[in-house]
């Protein structure tokens, strides 16, 4: 139950192996179809940042697996030239965990919406963070349910008027940043689709990080959320780097995360590298390579031993 | 006792340590090459309450818990009070007379009272009565002391020589006391010279998974399926199987689907309530065309129901699981050994047809135990992973890869993430051959129809690979008994008893439920004079399904839904009542109060 | 046009504002006492893609979207390209010639091009073409300008006088342009003197809930069920209904169960995927004997499927939902107005029998719109809350209250939490009459059997209160068409068309699905010469269910599973093909590309 | 998204109305049957404390509704003479929310296990906290799955050997206290069944508190958890009252919650009274009494208005 606050780098975190293959550009990561998002949707910014990050990390399309749920934002895997799974609403993180553990050589990137991840997907979110599964989770947080044409999400501000709350929501929203820190995520950041350059760095940092990284991204919905628009954020976001924030400072991370008003911090709130990721801790993966590549079946000796104990 | 057939009942409270004497006896039996069937009636309580373990052994295969008890070993007064009345002439009751008083026993029942105080005056704890009783019991059934000595020595090895010695002493005291005071049974426990193993259904399912090459197993604990998790957790590391306990069953099935898509054979097990939570995702596996195996170990429902009791009540749940039509394979193994064999069979099918497979077990199979000839536990099973392309670096196809290429079989070759050149996205939204969604911009009713038909076409291919059910027993029978899944053993035994009573019956057991060999069944049943369907549920779930697929209406039904499994005489009585025209539906009353 | 029957298609991209002209037209129709049916074919996309709204009006009730279009209003080139080929002689196509080019039209199709640049040179934005087209359209169908003026004035009231004036001007320009340049239809839009209302199925379900006295509504958004939530959210406050958006569908159904147990009539709605997640809890409502109503608005599956398309694919899901056998009522309303009426009927049943009730709607009903005579919307419905005791402070019973007292009907009077003297615990574990668990210490197979039978006995009582289905149409028909739920309208219309083609058909529509009036159906079908089952799914879910309950096997099947609803001619063609022996299963091709 | 840290008492929090009816004793709250827990199970302590708290609050049995899920601990409602619901595994909090909103005059107390509440029930837990539903949630946290005979739970310590982790768990546990604080619970405490007197006070405080109160209670499982036994806690627990802790101090609450080792704090970590509970915020409940008691149906005028808009 204890979460010691040590800050030592754990060993053997080789992050980027040397890449073979041709050097790629953003175009190489373009998916089979163009996004069908509304013109001006914040999600375009995230898509651009993600492709840029993949290029800069010198990853090959087949080395990457994007996993999403259902929602406008969850359509993203279709727009990236990489392996992808467009799963059920709320289940992306669970599916991604299975895929990551089955083939821990893949870079598994989970993308989706605030409703998908923090609403219906909340339980997987919680437990995946505490397990520190090596996933990079990009939440396109537009504080609304976009695809279902505008209802409150768990991050909608109190008082927000939507189709499901025509007189204003009476519920307190969650704040994903402190929640993720308390739940045990080891890389917790917030981005804004209006700040693509920083976003690229945050995503690269998340993919490099061994363990669970959450990047909650303000990705305004131009169609259903008038309260939290591109302009709203543009006028308010402030980079943590510029605020002198130390992402290894636990209290500072939490305090900064609660700031909301004229200055809304974006950047890396919290990072710890002393906790190994789940695949690193799992003895079955210690040797033999990805499970998915191992031969099937049981050796005759092992079979014999299994039967022996039944006799 | 015409052929040798011995049934022992051990009853007491949870926490009284019934499992140990049960295990020791089972080991003694199988090491003598005797067959075994064990069923434990227990409750959803950790300490107290009442447990009743029935162990039955014979030189012939033992098909069910049977109808009678030869030995009763009540570990407390409650158990004595509940079960003494079940004992009839020739039976023996072994009990600690210090604490337990018998009521009135039927004539010819030997009441074998021993005194723990006398036989083990210096030993503390309640477990000692179990060991004494075990010693005495073995004496009664004509077993030398040596096998018990061996097993006790192994059993207590970790606890050191003193404990071994103490237990051996106590067991010996019981053994010797029985020699002096009790009348032994008129036989000695046979030894066939063979050596069997014994296991429970959940172990069999887990081992079947290991044999099939499962590399990823995940679960959320739920009785009576938890045994699969426990076996996997115990053996996963040595076998290279990743085992995960997940936050809930929704996480379980989705994680399994993720692992399966990445290329592992992935399996999970739960009971009905957990299965309900998984139902949405099973449809998603079918839509994304990802092979995954999910086991539903049925227990008495609805809702939380009776968690430690058996039922065959989830058939309609698994048939209807998830919205919309999608290809799925549903199989109900018929014996514990069949559990082992079914898993690799099913994995080959789901891999070939890229769809979910569901195994319907139940508490009776999964927590029941049976002997097995070790030669039947062949881990070297055929493995067919279906069409996976790009594995040998065979390079990308000339055209862009189409994950969901339309085909006559409904099968499209799949490529695993990580494979260079076969990039694609799988989706739970309806999609085109190339994986692009046809639920938004590219919506198209013709394509939707084609994709839906493609998926559903798989069902024909699957059926063609399933073994059709076969009739068992005489062709000219008066009556045909039809069951599915776990009831095979008890129905077979009922058949024998019916024959003894002059009623010629035969038997059709259905294992592969979906898709169903309707034509084969129709042609078999068309030969049958009278059909009686036997199932362990209230509403006749299989009878209704059978009618929907074949139009067959049975002349009678034997149904049980009190949480306990059928005993052979329940079926026999039901068949007689139905043949006599007394009723069309017969619901037996469970006589053993557990 | 023998009897007056006008169908208008409006097509364009999401975001082009198709809804507004649609609503205005609908209002004009119902205010003239004309009947209306509207169906919107749209996609899971917020902007772009393609939407096609069909509005059909007549002096007679309009039963479906029909088979033909009289007017096409394409708002972009895509829509023109997709639909022009559907138009035949006598039809008119109205479009903005500045941007849209027609292809080749069939002979006799009037191409009515107008120029937005010319008619509204100073107005920005794309919506102006809609208003011009609306004005022109009304002129073509012989409507005075006044009704449009009225409605536009109401429509834009909130935006101020300038906007009203601008819109009126533009509409007028379209109207006048049409007078000058287009040939009007050979009729004037009739006015029957009546005044109708119009609503969509989701509104009808929500209003039915309000009429039934629902005090607690909760949901998680899911197309095509979200409309119920939206209506409730909009009107809940004024009606004293608590409306909650919950974190997921599992939370939804459990919250509704909590509210229901506390004494509120509680309802929720979802689509198939959300329903799958609710299935465990539905069984728990039955086990705890708590009345609750859950609506499943079906969409094309499996999995995420085609979220904005219709299907009748969840029948087996709802029949099998949750582990084990338990009493449940399943009803599929047959028209939009029937949605309104069904909810209070169902609430009375679930309250009386203390079990869950499921309404199977589908996108066609729930998002379709129809006119309704306001006198049919009677909110003053009979309300029967079943046996609730202790409400009037009638004091505790002599013996301790038994929540689950065994009774012949299976019903035991319930007491609401908060009532002095009737303290009890409800449980999802099997329990005794007094609510004490019989899954642990007090496990007892006889009691289990009795409690299970008690619950299941309710099904007989329910059946006795359900109206048996009735045959519609001539008794001596050549062929009987059987459908369930939402297809009633289109089948009725097919019947008329078949009659025109000299084929005498009658029709049986099933509304109450579980429990099923098997005997009534059998006796009706035994009179029928040839049975054809019409359903909007792949596998014939109802056909299979019907066979399981009645043994009835249909001679033919008309099935559709491309996401779009039946049009009358699909059924007519299917019946003809089957009668001609060309096929046993007919799957029409949807001609409208949406 | 902001969670302002104001500490003002919100108005009109009448906590204990005057009670009529006879004065009751603990015996009056004894349920129909005796607990079937293992002798020595911690849950006995919680049961005693709960009954004592109900007596001291002068509540009548019919005014109380206990709601549980499934697990050893979730059997509790059967052992209390009060209205009770023994619902599905993991769903108690959702069911309780429905009941509380349907009849907000009931005192709704949710009881269950760590697996039930933090494992499978995690999503309802999270969202019920942010909504500040007026429930008192007592978690009998034995850091194990008891009823299913001993598997890890979300609070099992790393390395714990159970039937599902025979070689030791490799997962990080959650710490419910900071998690609850971050999620927005307004009364967050930890108790120990070995300290019944304090526990009674914590429960009373929770029931009095208008809003969501979490009381995570160390309730040792004597059968399956040897790591975290009664003795283990007895030697370590330390009362926050005695540590000079101020439960309105946010940072101190979080810091104290992470203490684990020789001194494990128990008591009230965090309390805020400035956020109204959901029923207080919900306009439908503003007047007219509990929904469950209101007459059914729609007035003729309202009906007319509803139809009018459709015409
Ligand atoms: C089980 C289930 N419930 C509900 C839905 C309907 N649904 C689809 S997307 C969505 C929410 C979308 O919101 P978010 O995740 O924030 O994504 P956005 O569209 O805002 O990017 C919902 C409720 C569903 N597909 N499945
Ligand atoms: C859907 C579902 N999954 C699994 C179970 C099995 N189950 C019953 S209790 C339990 C866990 C009990 O642990 P906890 O909640 O900590 O309670 P405890 O027994 O330790 O008091 C589980 C997994 C169930 N009843 N329902
Ligand atoms: S609805 Fe909102 S979130 Fe969805 S695509 Fe449009 S702008 Fe983006
Ligand atoms: S198993 Fe553990 S939690 Fe359950 S009753 Fe026994 S001691 Fe208590
Ligand atoms: Mg969103
Ligand atoms: Mg626990």
Residue among B229, B273, B303 minimizing CB distance to D164? B229
In short, whether D216's Cβ falls inside 6 Å of ligand 2 is no
Is pLDDT of D10 > 80?
Answer: no
Closest A-chain CA to B422: A62
Contacts of D178 in chain A (CB under 8 A): 182
State residue C452's pLDDT score. Answer: 98
Nearest ligand 3 atom to alpha carbon A225: 2
Please tell me the distance between residue D41's alpha carbon and the centre of ligand 4 in angstroms: 5
Buried b (16+ CB within 10 A) or exposed e, D90-106: bbbbbbbbbbbbbbbeb
Report the pLDDT value the prediction gives residue B141, as an integer from 0 to 100: 97
Per-residue pLDDT tens over the stretch C127-165: 999 999 999 999 999 999 999 999 999 988 999 999 999
- Bridge-based pairing of strands B292-298 and B265-270 is parallel
CA distance readout (Å), C45 to A43, B485, C20, C42: 14, 46, 18, 8
Query: How large is the average pLDDT for residues C236-248?
Result: 97
Q: Under a CB-based contact definition with an 8 Å cutoff, are residues C71 and C56 in contact? A: no
| Per-residue tokens: D147 | 């009823």
For domain C471-593, the CATH class is alpha beta
CA of A153 to the centre of ligand 5 (A): 7
Would you say C8 and C55 are in contact if contact means Cβ atoms under 8 Å apart? yes
Cross-chain residue pair D182–A184, CB shorter than 8 Å:
no
Q: Does residue A145 line the site of ligand 3, with CB under 6 A?
A: no
Residue of A nearest to B206 (CA): A306
* Residues on chain A touching D143 (C-beta within 8 angstroms): 1
Q: Is B439 on the interface with D (CB under 8 A)?
A: no
- The shortest C-alpha distance from A20 to chain D (Å) reads 34
Does ligand 1 lie within 6 Å of residue A116's CB atom?
yes
The average pLDDT across B264-280 equals 98
The per-residue pLDDT for range B521-558, each reduced to its tens digit, is 999 999 999 999 999 999 999 999 999 999 999 999 99
CB of residue A155 inside a 6 A radius of ligand 1 = no
DSSP notation for C475-503 = TT-SEEEEEEGGGHHHHHHHHHHHHHTT-
Do the two domains B201-369 and B471-593 of this chain adopt the same fold?
yes
| pLDDT greater than 70 at residue C241 | yes
Residue with tokens 């209704």: B544
What is the per-residue pLDDT for B582? 82
Is the shortest distance between the CB of D229 and ligand 4 below 6 Å?
A: no
Residue of A nearest to D218 (CA): A1
DSSP SS3 for A196? helix
Q: How many helices (H) and strands (E) does chain B have?
A: 18, 22
Q: Kindly determine whether residue C304 and residue B428, on different chains, have CB atoms separated by under 8 Å.
A: yes
In the prediction, which pLDDT does C398 show?
Answer: 63
Which residue minimizes the CA distance to atom 23 of ligand 1? Answer: C221
> Each residue of C424-456: pLDDT tens digit?
999 999 999 999 999 999 999 999 999 999 999
Mean residue pLDDT across chain B: 96
Any chain A CB within 8 A of the CB of C47? yes
Which is it for the CA torsion C489, C490, C496, C502, positive or negative? negative
**Ligand 4 close to Cβ of residue D45 (< 6 A):** no
* Rounded Cα–Cα distance for residues A198 and B311 (Å): 58
Fold topology of A3-310: Rossmann fold (3.40.50)
C374: closest chain D residue by CA: D307
Cβ–Cβ gap D298/C288 under 8 Å: no
User: What is the separation, in whole angstroms, between the first and last Cα of chain B?
Assistant: 26
Quick one: pLDDT band at residue D111, thresholds 50, 70, 90?
Answer: very high
- Which of C317, C320, C345 is CA-nearest to residue C331? C345
Choose the mutation target among B200, B230, B231, B262 for the interface with A, i.e. most A CBs under 10 Å: B262
Would you state the pLDDT for residue D6?
35
B203 in contact with A at a CB cutoff of 8 Å? yes
Per-residue pLDDT of B41-75, as tens digits, reads: 999 999 999 999 999 999 999 999 999 999 999 99
Mutate to test the pocket of ligand 2, among B251, B273, B294 (most ligand atoms within 8 A of CB): B273
> What's residue B394's pLDDT?
73
For residue A22, pLDDT over 80 is answered with: no
Confidence of residue D20 (pLDDT cuts 50, 70, 90): low
- Taking the C-alpha atoms of residue B341 and residue D148, their distance in angstroms, rounded to an integer, is 27
Q: What is the pLDDT of residue B391?
A: 86
Sign of the Cα torsion C456, C461, C466, C468 reads positive
Query: Which is higher by pLDDT, B89 or C400?
Result: B89
| C556-567 residue pLDDT tens | 999 999 999 999
pLDDT above 60 (res A8): no
Q: Is the pLDDT of residue A145 over 50?
A: yes
Cβ(A41) to ligand 3 under 6 A? yes
A191 CA distance to ligand 3 middle (Å): 18
Q: How confident is the model at residue C126 (pLDDT cuts 50, 70, 90)?
A: confident
Residue D8 has pLDDT above 60, yes or no: no
Chain B residues whose CB is inside 8 A of the C589 CB are: 446, 449
Query: Which residue has the CA at smallest separation from atom 5 of ligand 2?
Result: B222
Q: How many CB atoms are closer than 10 A to CB B236?
A: 24
Q: Where are the domains of chain B?
A: 5-181, 201-369, 385-466, 471-593
- pLDDT for position B315: 98
CB-ligand 3 contact for A140 (6 Å cutoff)? no
Cβ–ligand 4 distance for D43 under 6 Å, the answer: yes
At residue D11, does pLDDT exceed 80? no
Return d(Cα C357, Cα B376) in angstroms, integer: 49
Give A48 Cα–ligand 5 centroid separation in angstroms. 18
The pLDDT, as a whole number, for residue B18 is 93
Higher-confidence residue of D238 and C392: namely D238
pLDDT digits (tens, 9 = 90+) for B18-33: 999 999 999 999 999 9
What is the pairing mode between strands A64-68 and A107-113?
parallel
pLDDT interval class at B594 (50, 70, 90): confident
Partner residue opposite C221 with nearest CB, options A36, A88, A151: A151
Among the partner residues A172, A183, A283, nearest to D179 by beta-carbon distance:
A183
Best of B240, B266, B277, B420 to disrupt the A interface (most A CBs within 10 Å) is: B240
User: How many CA atoms does the CB half-sphere of B326 hold within 13 Å?
Assistant: 35
Residue C250 has pLDDT above 90, yes or no: yes
Q: pTM for the whole thing?
A: 0.97
The answer to whether residue C319 scores a pLDDT higher than 70 is yes
Under the banding of pLDDT at 50, 70 and 90, the label for residue D21 is: low
Contact A35 CB / ligand 3 (< 6 Å): no
Cβ of D114 below 6 Å from ligand 2: yes
Q: Which of the listed residues A153, A223, A226, A228 should we mutate to test ligand 3's pocket, taking the one with most ligand atoms within 8 A of CB?
A: A223
| Span B372-381, pLDDT tens digits | 999 999 999 9
Confidence of residue A17 (pLDDT cuts 50, 70, 90): very low
Comparison of pLDDT for A4 and B566, the residue scoring more: B566
**Rounded CA separation C504/C529 (Å):** 11
**What pLDDT does residue C483 have?**
98
CATH number, domain C201-369, options 3.40.50.970, 3.90.700.10, 1.10.1740.10, 3.30.1300.10: 3.40.50.970
Q: In this predicted structure, what is the pLDDT of residue D18?
A: 46
C116 in helix, strand or coil? helix
In chain C, % of residues over pLDDT 90: 96
Cβ–ligand 4 contact at D222 (below 6 Å): yes
CB D70 near ligand 2, within 6 Å: yes
Check CB contact of C544 with chain A, cutoff 8 Å. no
CATH superfamily of B5-181: Pyruvate-ferredoxin oxidoreductase, PFOR, domain III (3.40.920.10)
**Binary contact (C46, A165; C-beta < 8 A):** no
Atom 1 in ligand 4: residue holding the nearest Cα: D146
Residues C69-98: what's their mean pLDDT?
Answer: 97
Query: Is B48 in Cβ contact with D36 (below 8 Å)?
Result: yes
What percent of chain B has a predicted confidence (pLDDT) above 90? Answer: 96
Q: Is the pLDDT of residue D1 over 80?
A: no
Q: Is the ipTM of this complex over 0.95?
A: yes
**pLDDT for position D13:** 37
Task: Quote the ligand 3 centre to C367 CA distance (angstroms).
Answer: 22
- What is the reported pLDDT for D14? 39
Q: Could you check whether the bond before residue B63 is cis, i.e. omega within 30 degrees of 0? A: no
Q: How confident is the model at residue C2 (pLDDT cuts 50, 70, 90)?
A: low
pLDDT band at A21 (very low <50, low <70, confident <90, very high): low
Ligand 4, atom 5, residue with closest C-alpha: D37
Q: What are phi and psi of D44, to 5 degrees?
A: -60, -40
- pLDDT, residue C594, reads 87
- Residue A32's alpha-carbon distances to A54, B389, B423, B450, in angstroms, are 17, 20, 10, 21
What residues are paired with B110 via a beta bridge? B92
**CA of C179 vs chain A CAs: smallest distance (Å):** 38
Q: Write the burial class of residue C183 (CB in 10 Å: 0-12 exposed, 13-18 middle, 19+ buried).
A: exposed
Contact B233 D165 (CB under 8 A): yes
Q: Which of B112, B86, B102, B89 is nearest to B184 (CA)?
A: B112
At residue C560, the 3 state secondary structure works out as coil
The closest-lying atom of ligand 3 relative to the alpha carbon of residue A72 is: 4
Decide: D279 and D100 in contact? Cβ < 8 Å.
yes
Contacts of B544 in chain C (CB under 8 A): 548-549
Asked if C288 and B303 come within 8 Å (Cβ–Cβ), the reply is yes
pLDDT at residue D54 greater than cutoff 70: yes
Residue B434 has pLDDT above 70, yes or no: yes
Question: What CA–CA distance (Å, rounded) separates B337 from D107?
Answer: 53
| Contact: C324, B307; criterion CB under 8 Å | no
Joined tokens for residue C523:
């006796």
Q: Is B344 exposed, middle or buried (0-12, 13-18, 19+ CB in 10 A)?
A: buried
Cβ pair B226:D37 closer than 8 A: no
């Amino acid at each position: 139950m204890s979460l010691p606050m040590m800050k030592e780098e754990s060993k053997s975190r080789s992050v980027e192996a040397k890449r073979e293959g041709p050097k790629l550009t953003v175009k190489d990561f373009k998916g089979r179809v163009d996004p069908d998002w509304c013109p001006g949707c914040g999600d375009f910014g995230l898509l651009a940042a993600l492709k840029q990050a993949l290029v800069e990390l010198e990853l090959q399309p087949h080395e990457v697996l994007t996993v999403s749920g259902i929602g406008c934002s969850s359509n993203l895997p279709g727009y990236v030239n990489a392996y992808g799974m467009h799963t059920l609403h709320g289940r992306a993180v669970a599916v991604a965990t299975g895929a990551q553990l089955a083939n821990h050589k893949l870079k598994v990137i989970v993308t989706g919406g605030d409703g998908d991840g923090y609403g219906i997907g909340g339980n997987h979110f919680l437990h995946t963070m505490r397990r520190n599964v090596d996933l990079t989770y990009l939440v396109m947080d537009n504080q609304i349910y976009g695809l279902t044409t505008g209802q409150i999400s768990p991050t909608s501000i109190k008082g927000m008027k939507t189709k499901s709350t025509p007189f204003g929501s009476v519920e307190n929203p969650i704040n994903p940043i402190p929640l993720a820190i308390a739940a045990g995520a080891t890389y917790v950041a917030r981005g804004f689709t209006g700040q693509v350059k920083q976003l690229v760095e945050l995503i690269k940092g998340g993919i490099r990080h061994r363990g669970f990284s959450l990047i909650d991204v303000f990705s305004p919905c131009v169609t259903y959320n008038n309260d939290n628009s591109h302009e709203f954020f543009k006028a308010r976001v402030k980079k943590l780097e510029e605020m002198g924030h130390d992402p290894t400072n636990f209290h500072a991370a939490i305090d900064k995360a609660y700031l909301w008003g004229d200055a809304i911090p974006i950047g890396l709130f919290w990072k710890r590298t002393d906790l190994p990721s789940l695949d690193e801790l799992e003895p079955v993966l210690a040797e033999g390579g990805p499970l998915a590549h191992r031969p099937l079946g049981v050796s005759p000796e092992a079979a014999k031993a299994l039967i022996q104990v039944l006799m | 006792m015409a052929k040798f057939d011995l049934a022992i009942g051990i009853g007491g409270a949870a926490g009284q340590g019934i499992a140990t004497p049960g295990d020791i006896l089972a080991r003694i039996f199988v090491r003598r090459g005797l067959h075994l069937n064990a069923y434990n009636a227990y409750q959803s309580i950790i300490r107290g309450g009442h447990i009743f373990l029935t162990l039955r052994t014979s030189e012939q295969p033992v098909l069910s818990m049977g109808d009678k008890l030869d030995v009763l070993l009540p570990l407390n007064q409650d158990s004595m009070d509940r079960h003494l009345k079940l004992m009839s002439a020739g039976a023996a009751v072994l009990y600690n007379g210090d604490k337990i008083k018998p009521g009135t026993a039927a004539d010819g029942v030997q009441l074998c009272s021993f005194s723990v105080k006398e036989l083990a005056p210096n030993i503390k704890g309640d477990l000692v009565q179990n060991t004494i009783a075990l010693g005495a019991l073995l004496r009664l059934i004509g077993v030398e002391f040596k096998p018990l000595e061996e097993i006790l020595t192994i059993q207590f090895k970790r606890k050191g020589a003193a404990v071994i010695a103490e237990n051996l002493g106590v067991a010996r005291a019981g053994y010797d006391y029985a020699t002096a005071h009790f009348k032994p049974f008129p036989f000695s426990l046979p030894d066939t010279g063979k050596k069997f193993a014994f296991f429970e259904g959940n172990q069999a399912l887990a081992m079947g998974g290991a044999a099939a090459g499962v590399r990823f197993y995940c679960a959320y604990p739920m009785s009576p399926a938890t045994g699969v998790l426990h076996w996997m957790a115990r053996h996963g590391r040595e076998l290279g199987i990743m085992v995960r306990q997940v936050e809930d069953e929704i996480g379980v099935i989705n994680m399994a689907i993720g692992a399966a898509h990445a290329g592992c054979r992935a399996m999970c097990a739960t009971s009905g309530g957990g299965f309900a939570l998984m139902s949405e995702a099973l449809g998603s596996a079918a839509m994304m065309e990802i092979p995954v195996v999910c086991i539903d170990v049925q227990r008495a429902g609805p809702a939380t129901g009776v968690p430690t009791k058996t039922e065959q009540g989830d058939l309609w749940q698994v048939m209807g699981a998830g919205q919309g039509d999608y290809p799925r394979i549903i199989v109900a193994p018929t014996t514990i050994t069949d559990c082992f064999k079914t898993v690799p069979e099913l994995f080959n099918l789901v891999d070939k047809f890229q769809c979910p497979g569901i195994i319907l077990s139940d508490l009776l199979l999964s927590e029941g135990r049976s002997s097995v000839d070790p030669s039947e536990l062949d881990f070297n099973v055929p493995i067919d992973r279906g069409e996976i392309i790009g594995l040998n670096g065979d390079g990308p196809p000339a055209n862009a890869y189409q994950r969901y290429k339309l085909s006559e079989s409904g099968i499209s070759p799949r490529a695993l993430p990580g494979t260079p050149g076969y990039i694609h996205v799988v989706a739970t939204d309806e999609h085109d051959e190339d994986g692009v969604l046809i639920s938004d911009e590219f919506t198209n009713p013709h394509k939707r129809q084609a994709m839906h038909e493609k998926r559903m076409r798989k069902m024909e291919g699957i059926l063609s690979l399933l073994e059709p059910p076969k009739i068992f027993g005489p062709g000219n029978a008066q009556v045909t008994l039809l069951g599915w899944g776990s009831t095979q053993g008890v129905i077979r035994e009922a058949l024998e008893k019916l024959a003894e009573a002059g009623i010629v019956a035969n038997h059709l057991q259905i294992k592969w439920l979906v898709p169903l060999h309707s034509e084969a069944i129709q042609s078999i049943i068309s030969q049958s004079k009278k059909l009686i369907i036997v199932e362990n549920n209230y509403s006749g779930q299989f009878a209704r399904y059978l009618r929907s697929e074949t139009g067959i209406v049975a002349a009678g039904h034997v149904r049980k839904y009190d949480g306990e499994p059928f005993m052979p005489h329940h079926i026999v009585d039901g068949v007689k009542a139905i043949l006599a025209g007394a009723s069309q539906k017969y619901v037996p009353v469970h006589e053993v109060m557990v």
